[in-house]
């Protein structure tokens, strides 16, 4: 499953520009990257010249998703899915999902971007692992300048991509939330489902299986 990190900060803090640069650097390293952008605005045009989503695509992102109050990617209604659910459901094949926004996302590491000392978020939200700013005298274990996209990309690579624990055989989402499974349980469930699917002879070269169960239909 994909690793996730999100950049947070106030409007005009420089998030989009920095995310675009980091995406470009990660692509140079050979990684598959998806970008999910969150916005509080309605009526946003998606992937047209001059828009943030267009910039992310131009930077080389393999996939770009816009999540706004009135829409998300593919022009569907926003059903309130969490960043983690969006990442695991729509981008399971990339190496990392880069979020923009989602400052209240639970258990998601965050890189805060800010230009104004009065607009810092790290004292209000959980999970800030680094900051990016051009202000002097900012304390922290990982503090980057806004022109240090290569350094931030290396930080992300070291923290989330290098020596990542063994690849998951399967992932279980219940009501959109990922359920941690030990390796032997993953293998047992995956083997069971795979065995049933093979008996259907629906495909000669099975590479991936997706299974969705509506529990309410089983309880009728």
Q: Read off the pLDDT of residues 34-48 as tens digits, 9 standing for 90 and up.
A: 888 888 888 888 778
Q: Work out the pLDDT band at 1, boundaries 50, 70, 90.
A: low
Contact indicator for 102, 6 with CB cutoff of 8 Å: yes
Does the structure show a pLDDT above 70 at 97?
yes
Q: Which tokens in the block code for residue 97?
A: 């999902």
Task: Determine contact, residues 21/116, Cβ cutoff 8 Å.
Answer: no
Show the tokens assigned to 140.
Answer: 């922290």
Beta bridge partners of 113: 132
Beta-carbon count within 10 A of 78 CB:
13
Please name which of 110, 86, 74, 106 lies closest in space to residue 1, comparing C-alpha atoms: 86
Q: Specify whether the CB–CB gap between 175 and 157 falls below 8 A.
A: no
d(CA 135, CA 120) in angstroms, rounded, equals 12
User: Collapsing DSSP states into helix, strand and coil, what is residue 67?
Assistant: strand
Report in angstroms the alpha-carbon separations of 65 from 17, 71, 102.
17, 10, 13
- Helix then strand then coil, in percent of the chain rounded to 5, is 30, 20, 50
User: Residue 220 has what pLDDT?
Assistant: 66
Domains of the chain by residue range:
3-161, 172-218
CATH class belonging to 3-161: alpha beta
Joined together, the tokens standing for residue 25 give 């650097």
Q: What is the mean pLDDT of the chain?
A: 84
Rounded Cα distance between 60 and 33, Å, is 8
What is the 8-class DSSP label of residue 76?
B
- Of 23-37, 55-69, 95-109, the range with the lowest mean pLDDT is 55-69
Question: Per-residue pLDDT tens for 196-213?
Answer: 888 887 767 888 888 878
Q: How confident is the model at residue 76 (pLDDT cuts 50, 70, 90)?
A: very low
């Amino acid at each position: 499953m994909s690793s996730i990190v999100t950049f947070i900060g106030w409007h005009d803090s420089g998030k989009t520009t920095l995310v675009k640069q980091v995406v470009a650097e990660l692509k140079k390293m050979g990684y598959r990257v998806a970008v999910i952008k969150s916005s509080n605005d309605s009526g946003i045009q998606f992937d047209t010249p001059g828009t943030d989503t267009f910039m992310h695509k131009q930077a080389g992102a393999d996939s770009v998703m816009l999540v706004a109050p009135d829409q998300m990617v593919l022009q569907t209604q926003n059903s309130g899915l969490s960043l983690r659910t969006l990442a695991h459901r729509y981008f399971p094949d990339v190496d990392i999902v880069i979020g923009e926004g989602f400052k209240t996302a639970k258990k998601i590491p965050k890189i805060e971007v800010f230009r104004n000392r009065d607009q810092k978020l790290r004292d209000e939200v959980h999970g800030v692992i680094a900051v990016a700013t051009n202000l002097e005298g900012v304390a922290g274990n990982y503090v980057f300048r806004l022109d240090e996209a290569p350094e931030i990309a290396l930080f992300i690579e070291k923290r989330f991509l290098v020596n990542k624990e063994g690849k998951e055989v399967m992932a279980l989402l219940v009501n959109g939330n990922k359920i941690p499974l030990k390796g032997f349980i993953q293998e047992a469930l995956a083997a069971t489902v795979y065995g049933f699917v093979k008996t259907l002879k629906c495909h000669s070269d099975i590479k991936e299986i997706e299974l969705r169960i509506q529990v309410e239909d089983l309880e009728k």
